Structure 1
């Protein structure tokens, strides 16, 4: 088993390396295009360093059967974890003191990943984000659970359908993990995504630390449901809208990103006997989006994504 960590670098500002080049898309398109851009830049940067005597990037494959540089050139393996692309942590960190920033993190649990591993997912996602930004703590952590959305012909129907989505027991158990992070001073405020009025009411009755934020996507209906607006006002919960996809990294999209196809990175073998990539099933686990906002200047200095997947070789 191999754990794959994918990263975009800073998609707002280009750093000293071309590997941290900006991206210009939102939601799942922002994620996939930024990952693809970062993969291509890493292949070019690290491949150029290892050019062969003829001035061509060595792809590590016999007879030139693939256009991709060999994965070991531009990725990095640390025991059972493969970083795609490899990360130069020397470029990490923010430009100003920590107090100058509002740092928001949104963690998406993907439907293909088992809920019992969420403690590990939370720990790894926050480890990567805080290392990337060079900080110890974050201001707001929003959790997006799988299989929850606002869908309907109007806001009332969307709110009604939302009441039966997700898994209340699993969500409350996961929230307890976040409460511990808050108690340790590692997270300032906690938030949820896609919780309608009935679902939020049940949730509030079960948790110790109430969410400070409820972030919802109302693209399929007209307005925020009035019952949710009323409940949020009563409970002093901020309502934010967003445009994130509810399934931000499906298995097919991930395989296309990492595969041998024309837009793939060549990390997966995809049945190619000449390829040196990973073989077997690939399972997306989580995606984390982070934003470092400079409060005094009103600008975003650093924004990016990490994503995790598990590669299980066929026996």
Structure 2
């Protein structure tokens, strides 16, 4: 079994340009396009560095002409992912740490924020995905937050938002929204997960929700019962445009496969290419945002995604 850790890096400084299409079912484009862009950038950066290193080594040993030939052969042979493929080999730009495979590899020493921690409001949104076991959510929380802390070089965050699978806020009118929303979710599972999040805040202290994110793409107004509950319990209502299933299982296979826009990490029997194989189970996605308070700008924003490949 292999644990996959996919990352976008900071999409504010180097993320791809894309057009967001109407409808929340398109909102995962930011995640998928940013992952794909980071994969391509890592393939380019790491393969170029290795090619240059190989060329210099061959040049020093055999002369400038042989060095040039060595670079060419490396690009077409050692760095290739298979016959006729222009992709670099996965082990050049990914990194394995025990059972975990980082796609792409991460240069942790250059991570972190530019200013003192007190200058930022840091928000983290954790998406629990529908096919992942509920009893593993504590592990998912710890994995996701540890990655964000390491990426930003921080010890704490300011706001943690949990997104549960199968939960949405939609309807063509207030009555329709109330009817749909009343039948969603699993209260027992959500309460158990909230206890995990409470423990992160402070051991032994009960923490009430202070923020509720809702999507009002179909409704013009927040249903009065929800508005009243928020007012009575001092809960802030935020609007979001995230889809309820931000990373469907087939998406990872497309991202890592051998299609036109794939990264070439998975095996492909038709092309005779070795690689990872088995069933892919997406487990969680975490979105993090570092907002510079006194300048009113977002300095760092990105995603991590966790999944497992069960060998077939």
TM-score norm. by structure 2 comes to 0.87
3-state SS of the aligned residue for 1:230? helix
1:270 CA displacement: 3.7
**Pairwise CA distance, 1:61:** 4.5
Structure 2, unaligned stretches of length 5 or more? 21-26, 55-69
**SS in structure 2 opposite 1:50?**
helix
Q: Which residue of 2 aligns with 1:311?
A: 309
Larger Rg: 2
Shift of 1:23: 3.3
Provide the C-alpha distance between the structure 2 equivalents of 1:105 and 1:74, rounded to a whole number of angstroms. 27
Counterparts of residues 30-179 of structure 1 (less than 5 Å):
30-51=30-51, 53-55=70-72, 56=75, 58-61=78-81, 64-179=83-198
The aligned counterpart of 2:264 is 266
Tell me what 1:228 maps to.
226
User: Separation in 2 of the partners of 1:248 and 1:218?
Assistant: 17
- Which of 264, 288, 301 pairs up with 1:290? 288
Separation (CA, whole Å) in 2 of partners of 1:219 and 1:151: 7
1:215 maps to 213
Alpha-carbon shift at residue 60 of structure 1 (Å)? 4.2
The answer to whether the Cα contact below 8 Å between 1:103 and 1:138 also exists between their aligned partners in 2 is yes
CA contact 2:80–2:87 (8 Å) conserved in 1 = no
Relative to the length of structure 1, the TM-score reads: 0.86
Unaligned runs of 5+ in 1: 14-20, 186-206
CA distance in 1 between partners of 2:81 and 2:44 (Å): 17
Structure 1 CA distance, aligned partners of 2:215 and 2:269? 39
What CA RMSD, in Å, does the superposition of the two structures yield over aligned residues? 1.7
Deviation at 1:67, TM superposition (A): 3.0
Distance 1:98 1:249 in 2: 31
Is the 1:59–1:66 Cα contact (8 Å) retained in structure 2?
Answer: no
Q: Is the 8 A contact 1:121 1:286 kept in 2?
A: yes
Query: 2:81·2:87 contact (CA, 8 Å) conserved in 1?
Result: no
Aligned-residue offset at 1:184 = 5.0
Question: In the alignment, what sits opposite 1:198?
Answer: none
**Could you say what secondary structure the match of 1:239 adopts?**
strand
User: Once the two structures are superposed, what CA deviation does each residue of 1:213-258 show, in whole Å capped at 9, x if it has no partner?
Assistant: 0001111322221211111011000000011111101011111011
Does the alignment pair 1:181 with 2:181?
no
8 Å contact from structure 1 (residues 6, 307) kept in 2: yes
Q: Secondary structure at the match of 1:12?
A: helix
SS in 2 for 1:138: coil
Residue pair 1:65, 1:274 contacting (<8 A) in 2 also:
no
Partner of 1:16: none
Q: Which residue of 2 aligns with 1:195?
A: none
Partners of 1:66 and 1:275 within 8 A in 2: no
Structure having the larger proportion of residues in helix: 2
- The whole-number CA distance in structure 2 between the counterparts of 1:296 and 1:54 is 49
Q: In structure 1, the residue corresponding to 2:12 is in which secondary structure?
A: coil
